[in-house]
Structure 1
């Protein structure tokens, strides 16, 4: 099976030794996105809601670069530094996905890169 690397300027560049996404067969594995503005590479805001929106915008850009959309996502793993933001995360996510929603895990973590409040990664099937 061949694999191809997915990259777009519409999402933040990798800040470590990883690709934005890797396509293997008809499955695309999207690396975790934190709420960086793709042009400035800075956090978009210090509010959780604004950061959550940017995370989904970044994921959407990578999905589109891979030839799909958020509607093709089958699994999301989300990481929140404060689980009291869980309901806000749900409200924001509902603005980017339609039912049936993808499978998802949401985990509380101590910290995220660059001081982000939220990060999400996804698996997409084309």
Structure 2
């Protein structure tokens, strides 16, 4: 049975989803956006937006008892393809080889001020 993992450092939700869900040894993180824990959106500098998103991913994985090394898959949503290389530069600050498997999709996002969203899957054994 899946269970919600409360994640400190991630803004409270106003939409019907859970930030972090554990199902056995798998931990699923909903798409994270560039929002701080106080609910303010990070705007302007794309590198800072990307760091805010990845900080939220990190907080969610840590809440489940893991680290970013436990992330096995990410899906990155970008507003446009020109953001691909700048995103990769910041992504390398957070993940090291072997990198998680990743898909990158260019698509409009749910808010006109958003340029990036990332979801993740981690393998974190419950009884390690």
TM-score, reference length from structure 1: 0.93
Q: How many residues align?
A: 124
Does the 8 Å contact 2:72/2:123 carry over to 1? yes
Does the 8 Å contact 2:8/2:63 carry over to 1? no
Once the two structures are TM-superposed, the CA of residue 83 in structure 1 deviates from its matched residue by 1.1
TM-score, reference length from structure 2: 0.92
Does the 8 Å contact 1:77/1:121 carry over to 2? yes
Distance 2:110 2:46 in 1: 13
Distance 2:15 2:54 in 1: 20
Name the residue aligned to 2:18.
19
Name the residue aligned to 2:75.
77
Once the two structures are TM-superposed, the CA of residue 114 in structure 1 deviates from its matched residue by 5.8
Once the two structures are TM-superposed, the CA of residue 11 in structure 1 deviates from its matched residue by 1.1
Name the residue aligned to 1:111.
109
Q: Give CA-to-partner distance per residue, 1:48-95, whole Å, 9 cap, x none.
A: 111001000000001000111111000000000021010011110000
Name the residue aligned to 1:56.
54
Q: Give CA-to-partner distance per residue, 1:2-31, whole Å, 9 cap, x none.
A: 221012231122231000111000000100
Distance 1:34 1:64 in 2: 17
Q: CA RMSD in A?
A: 1.2
User: Unaligned stretches of 5+ in structure 1?
Assistant: none
